Structure 1
């Protein structure tokens, strides 16, 4: 019997998505004027739009599908700067100083997330855990 089970999702759905309802937006069907156009409604696009708007920039964000359903929507929602294989490659290809800059940018991003959660009193099960990455200790 070669019947396909059509009840299964096309992609595995992360646990964190099951309790959320995502907003939907109508298609942009008129000309608009904006200072900055952001293409992509994932966490990076939405965060960029938020930070720019907070600075008084007129921002438009567009997404071809539903927001938070691409790469962002299919992550474990783990926030980390521990990317051992990436650091190994960065050190090999660009040297320790560039790898250190990458680490610092990730650390700044993690701090931004923590600050936004606190600033907006976002109900978020953010829990810090210790990690060890031998590549980071070689920086």
Structure 2
């Protein structure tokens, strides 16, 4: 066997290894991307549910305790300042952010539903919130909720 033949065999073998390793590299990359996405979604979940940031507004929207609920409705419909109204707008800003990510293709409907279905349904149960979304600049959230793709209005 001459050096030329050996070089050709090694070259062919190297090419074969490269071709065979490409699917493995692609699979490893796809797995890595899915893992990072899962970590990002877990972080999003943690920031929303495990901090107390939205605890009070979620309680008021969920249980409608008086006088807090009445004060919130009055403040939103009259467009007046109230601490709960500020909390509501921060809460809605989070979902506007999600709707923006959805529009950019960065988060899927399934991921949004999996993480935030209950809260999105909660928003749709309050007519005073639904009627203020567009006037207050929450167009993407309004479109997300109106699309019907995510959830039917309760």
TM-score, structure 2 normalization: 0.28
TM-score, structure 1 normalization: 0.30
Which is helix-richer, 1 or 2?
2
Structure whose alpha-carbon radius of gyration is higher: 2
